[in-house]
Structure 1
Amino acid sequence: MKLHVALLSLLALSADAFSPRPLVPKTVTNKDVSSKSDVWRPPMNMVAGGAEKAYGQEYYEGARIGPPPDLPSLLLHNRIVYIGMPLVPAVTELVIAELLYLNYESTSDPITMYINSSGTTTAGGQAVGFETEAFAIADVMKYVRPPVHTVALGQAFGAAAMLLSQGKRGKRFALPNATILLNQPRSQAQGQASDIAIKAREVANNRRTTCELIASACGKPVSTVMEDCSRVKYLQPEEAVEYGLIDEVIDNKKWAMSSKPPSFMSQL
């Protein structure tokens, strides 16, 4: 009898253990929800005010909400590349990246490059960069398929003047008060005499390469350009046109009085 009662009690406990129990909803607190939680959230278009969020950007009634884009991005969006510093590696990296991106974006729309640079030296003549930086930019200007139009403003000294001349023939411009300077590379060699001699040969090769690029762009003999670059040679915009470095001087006052629109307005 006692055994029978014990079996009945065990069966009752087992039935109670396996019987379904009502689920009690758990209150979810901020501590329980992490940034990567799977807890359902209402879509952003259900939030009051009509704001939406897509790919990390916030929009309100179709307009993007957030800080404005930086100035270089705005210029790049309009296919403008601006060189406003000496040609140090960081500047070269940015300019080449912009040219390659614009080439990927469109192979036919022109690129406008504004140049206000002292080249591979500071305004005082101290060497801060290498001519290979300018050669890299010049090669990419020729490599990309869109035509590159160049505009000088402020100053275009040394290697920057060479880049100015590498624009598409007929689309090389200068503002009225720009100054263009031809000179020869400066050596940064230090150390033993043998190292200085090796560096001097490299500087001489860079000088010849620079003069060859300028001569090809200007239609002049290399010997003439090398002679002009042996000493500093300042060129005003009109003189640069005569020399062949640029094709036209941008003069808004002159064009405002003329019935003929400037040829570059449809190109820049």
Structure 2
Amino acid sequence: MPIGVPKVPYRMPGGQYTDWISIYDRLYRERIIFLGRDIDDEIANQIIAVMLYLDSDDPGKDIYLYINSPGGMVTSGLAIFDTMQHIKSDVVTICVGLAASMGSFLLSAGTKGKRMALPHSRIMIHQPSGGTRGQATDIEIEAREILRIRHQLNEIYAGNTGQTIAKIEKDMDRDFFMSAQEAKEYGLIDRVIEERP
């Protein structure tokens, strides 16, 4: 049975009264965004809106993106990625649990030197998939688009990790799982968080 979104007490600075707000709203006030589900247009739009707001509020201050996601829609993930590259604030990415598919893509897209994972996290990369049905010409168009997106993702992964495009293509041919330490050695992250800050 779902428990709903937890609420926590919060008092506005200088305020007299305490309000109960959603835990996510409270985290936003600390510049923390939590991606804890499949990536689709709805969650992408929410994350983008929060990033844009936090960046305009204080452009020199880090934004923290915690990721525990099995991945999701490529176009939604690319929209978040483009926003991360566009804003002035550094985006610190932290894997807690699983960063798979577009989740690992966003993890690797954090500001270099600020991409992290907890010690027991799992990170998985693979090629994009599609599920088109219909006329042969429609399927052919979709196949060309998937190949174009695959090449685009491979280039970005190569830039984020320092791996060659050939290695990225080979490794992404099938699901390629890594531990946090292996992801660090691969170049997807910069540090495994072993101690409390």
- Structure 1 and Structure 2 fold alike (TM over 0.5): yes
Q: 2:116 aligns with which of 159, 173, 183?
A: 173
Q: Give, in angstroms, the shift of residue 71 of structure 1.
A: 1.1
Percent identity at matched positions? Answer: 34
| Higher Rg of the two aligned structures | 1
Aligned equivalents of 1:199 and 1:86: distance in 2? Answer: 22
- Residue matched to 2:65: 113
State whether structure 2 residue 7 is matched by structure 1 residue 64. Answer: no
**Which residue of structure 1 aligns with residue 152 of structure 2?**
209
Aligned CA-pair RMSD: 1.6
Q: How far apart in 2 are the matches of 1:95 and 1:113?
A: 9
Q: Which runs of 5+ in 2 are unaligned?
A: 1-14
Deviation string 1:174-213 (CA, Å, 9 cap, x unpaired) is 0111100011111121111111111111111111111111
The aligned residue for residue 241 of structure 1 is: 184
1:245, 1:169 → 2: CA distance?
Answer: 10
Q: Which amino acid aligns with 2:16?
A: A
The corresponding residue for 2:50 is 98
Displaced runs of 4+ in structure 1, greater than 2 A? none
Residues matched between the structures, number: 185
Compare the two structures and name the one with the higher strand fraction: 2
Q: CA deviation at 1:102?
A: 0.5
**Alignment match, 1:77:** 29
> Aligned to 2:85, which of 111, 133, 142?
142
What is the one-letter code of the residue matched to 1:173? M
Deviation at 1:251, TM superposition (A): 1.2
Alpha-carbon distance between aligned partners in 2 of 1:86 and 1:99, rounded to the nearest angstrom? 18
TM-score, reference length from structure 1:
0.67
The alignment partner of 2:66 has SS state of: strand
The aligned residue for residue 35 of structure 1 is none
Deviation string, structure 1 residues 38-75 (Cα, Å, up to 9, x no partner) = xxxxxxxxxxxxxxxxxxxxxxxx5125x411111101
Q: TM-score under structure 2 normalisation?
A: 0.90
